[in-house]
């Protein structure tokens, strides 16, 4: 994406959203590139598979605890009594 200095002021929201999407924005002054804005970290990819989540197929085995028991264990307070 390219944006002039004036567009930086008037379209900051669109430029910021482009950076959040992982795009690099080239800043122009009088039609010449003077700098770039780029994201600090690459955008998060949704490459994680559902089957890799620990709760996937939790009820498949008879010997596994119920989901409600696992959730209760995860949600308990900081200091167990």
Would you say residue 33 has pLDDT above 80?
Answer: yes
What tokens does 71 get?
Answer: 């959730």
CA distance 32 to 39: 21
| Res 43: pLDDT | 58
pTM: 0.49
Query: Residue length, the chain?
Result: 81
| Res 72: pLDDT | 83
Exposure string of 28-54, with b = 16+ CB inside 10 Å and e = fewer, is beeeeeeeebeeeeeeeeeeeeeeeee
pLDDT tens for each residue of 34-65: 999 999 876 566 667 777 777 676 666 667 77
Average predicted confidence (pLDDT) for the chain: 82
CA distance 6 to 27: 10
What tokens does 46 get?
Answer: 């949704």
């Amino acid at each position: 994406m390219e944006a002039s200095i004036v567009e930086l002021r008037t379209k900051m929201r669109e430029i910021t959203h482009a950076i959040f999407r992982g795009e690099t924005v080239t800043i122009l002054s009088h039609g010449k590139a003077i700098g770039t804005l780029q994201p600090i970290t690459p955008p998060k990819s949704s490459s994680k598979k559902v089957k890799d989540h620990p709760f996937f197929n939790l009820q498949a085995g008879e010997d596994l605890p119920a989901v409600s028991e696992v959730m209760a264990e995860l949600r308990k307070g900081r200091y167990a009594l």
